[in-house]
Amino acid sequence: MGEFDLISRYFTRPPRHALLGVGDDCALLQPQPGMQWAVSSDMLVDGRHFLSTTPPARLGHKALAVNLSDLAACGAKPIAFTLALSLPQIDEAWLQGFSQGLWALADAHGCELVGGDTTQGPLNICITVFGEVPPGDALLRQHAQVGDDVYVSGTLGDARLALEVFRGTLTVEAEHFEAARARMEQPSPRVALGLALRGLANAAIDISDGLVGDLGHILQRSKVGAVLTTDWVADSAAISPAMQSLTMNRRLDFALAGGDDYELLFTAAPDQADGVQEAANDCGVPITCIGRITSTPGLQVLDMQGMAMSRRFASFDHFAR
């Protein structure tokens, strides 16, 4: 099987919304009148963004999920994506699984594969995703307001928990491991919640490098500070049964600086609290209030007793040594 057969067998379907899909020099799309376009690219590298043990279907899911998560963080509706794939060799079982996982998530979000590239080389998956958002409705990192509540969606720390089990630094019960592993390998992009938060949230980001680091991006861009509580790490909707099985210290590490969560971190004015909760209920996604935006620059993390913690939580950096 050659490059063009591969594309046609695994990555080509008749276009639905696109004017022209896979198979020409470019895809052609017709933006809805007046809409803005949100664009994001993510590149996944073997051993860094996923382990070689990841089942191909889960990898296909994850490659698109991390991109959809960026659209979710902007409150943009997914429209289309391109896939560029570097493969060491043609492995049909792998391609079958990978494309299956990819299509399943794409279909679930009505997001169409419109083009891309395939080449031979070290395994590398680069997806660029396009979404639509009405002018002024995009959720940005830069619009957090002093006094805003700070929320997270879903649960935090599970992906890191699974990674540490893979690394052999941690042992948990099998059911906890499987649940955490599914969260690491098949994150759920919070697209519906992102859409529902338009007009309610002031700022948003998706948590990919760890809560503290990603909150830092909001603070920096919004030129504000924040106080982060940690009592929710003891017991809240944001802590899964798998995380509950760990010591408090480990939970703090994984929830505050775990990485790979792909949950939304967002801020909203206190008088929007009811609306925010309703939006979350409608989407079936739990949310947890974890702090407040302040005018004092920097991030203050409070311990269970409400005292300032001196401990540092590092953000994930691909080039940090």
Angle between helices 158-167 and 248-257 (to 10 degrees): 110
36 binds a copy of itself per the rule CB under 8 A = yes
Both structure tokens of 252 = 């703090």
Listed in sequence order, the residues at least 6 apart from 307 whose beta carbon sits closer than 8 Å to its beta carbon are: none
Question: Which range binds a copy of itself by CB under 8 A, 34-42, 104-112, 179-187, 275-283?
Answer: 34-42
29 binds a copy of itself per the rule CB under 8 A = yes
Which 227-286 positions form the footprint of a copy of itself (CB under 8 A)?
A: none
- The least CB distance from residue 71 to a copy of itself, in Å, is 6
Angle between helices 56-74 and 92-108 (to 10 degrees): 30
22 binds a copy of itself per the rule CB under 8 A = no
- The least CB distance from residue 114 to a copy of itself, in Å, is 6
Which 78-137 positions form the footprint of a copy of itself (CB under 8 A)?
A: 80, 82-86, 89-90, 114-122, 124, 126, 128, 130-131, 133, 135
CB distance 259 to 209 below 8 Å: yes
Tell me, by CB under 8 A, how many residues bind a copy of itself.
73
Comparing CB distances to a copy of itself, the nearer of 125 and 226 is 125
CB distance 276 to 197 below 8 Å: yes
Comparing CB distances to a copy of itself, the nearer of 45 and 51 is 45
Pick the binder of a copy of itself from 6, 156, 233, 243 (CB under 8 A): 6
- The least CB distance from residue 36 to a copy of itself, in Å, is 5
CB distance 156 to 238 below 8 Å: yes
CB distance 197 to 74 below 8 Å: no
150 binds a copy of itself per the rule CB under 8 A = no
- The least CB distance from residue 1 to a copy of itself, in Å, is 7
Alpha helices by DSSP H, listed for 75-157, are: 92-108
Which 290-319 positions form the footprint of a copy of itself (CB under 8 A)?
A: 317-319
Comparing CB distances to a copy of itself, the nearer of 167 and 318 is 318
- H-helix or E-strand spanning residue 136: none
CB distance 213 to 271 below 8 Å: no
Measured in degrees and rounded to the nearest 5, phi and psi for residue 154 equal 55, -145
